Amino acid sequence: MWTSLSCIVPPHTQSFGLGGALPAQAYLDRLTDYCAAVERIGVTGAFVYDFPVAMDPWLAAFDVLAVSPTLEPIVAVRPHMESPESVARRVTDLAYRFRRPTHVNVVAGATRSSRASGNPVDKPADKPVDKVAARAELAEFAAVLRCEVERRRGEGERSIVVTPSSTTPGVVPADAVLLMARPRDTLARDIGRVRAEQGVERIFLLVGLVVRDDDEAAWTAARELYRPDRRQIIAGRMFVSQVVSSEHTASYALAERADVHDERLWYGAPARGIDAPKLVGSTADVRDWLRSCADIGVTDVIVDLVPDPAEYSRMGEVLT
């Protein structure tokens, strides 16, 4: 049904964006457990985030390729940190080394501090980010990257370029656009806008899943899995105070309006503003919600990171 199914790669820290680094072997063991769990339900893509306390995303991508025989990393890359030529070289070299493609998620950066355009180091940190300049930089980077990858690549599947949705004007020449889950009426409008503006067919939807036999059990599990955590709440507030990404801003506005939209799209997890909203419910209801997204244009699904890899075993019937 879906063109691809992807997951989020767990970080090397104790929790996402928080806590100290795990011992290296503990991190690798956890990564192996997560990769094995998602492989069993048909996941083939592995999104590697790039945020301030994260390990270098290219090293994380190498670890995914090393511990998994099937997963294809999708690596977050920011234009002001790498050249498109160096990224193309890594993409094609990894494809040669592991005989399967590595893909690229070209991002401007969700927060003010993560963007270079319009906020050089010699200017005040609170200077407004020039979003149009950042978007133009993203577009130029993606165009050169796609040409360089095509020039360098050998035999085998083609690597794709993904980029997050944005309301800032400017076409980014990518193969797919990523949207965070939102109420279906809003999602339908945004997919129509993205397709008209960006000229892409593939739409990736990032969403969390909490699936149980019935609704009551699912909501109980959601509140157990995502208990209030003071550190995560504070981290979420700090993140939101710095957000300049329209995707994150729109998601946070929906979370402020209500904890639940569309009966089962839950924004109440402690790290809201950072992570994706969760679909909560029975297998049948969550599956129906997702299938309705296919009817309005979603082609690919990304399952948000879960606290315990055992959760993935409950998602197989929803995703296949």
Render 169-187 in DSSP notation, one character per residue.
Answer: S-----SEEEEE---HHHH
pLDDT of residue 237: 64
* 206: enclosing H helix or E strand: strand 202-212
Calculate Rg over the CA atoms of the chain.
19
Domain boundaries, the chain: 4-208+285-319
β-pairing, 176-180 vs 202-212, is parallel
- SS3 (DSSP) at 76: strand
pLDDT of residue 120: 42
Q: Residue ranges of the chain with pLDDT lower than 50?
A: 110-112, 117-124
The pTM for the full model equals: 0.89
b/e code 88-127 from CB counts within 10 Å (16+ = b): bebbbebbeebebbbbbbbbbbbbbebbbbbbeeeeeeee
Q: Of 176, 194, 198, 197, nearest to 301 (Cα)?
A: 176
Give the separation between CA 169 and CA 112, rounded to whole angstroms: 18
* Torsional sign, CA 166, 205, 104, 126: positive
Domain 4-208+285-319 -> CATH class: alpha beta
The alpha helices in 108-258, defined as continuous H runs, are 131-152, 184-198, 215-225, 230-242, 246-257
Give the separation between CA 90 and CA 84, rounded to whole angstroms: 10
pLDDT of residue 228: 74
CB proximity list for 77: less than 8 A, separation 6 or greater: 50, 57, 87, 104, 105, 106, 107
pLDDT of residue 250: 73
Contact 134, 140 (CB under 8 A): no
pLDDT of residue 72: 98
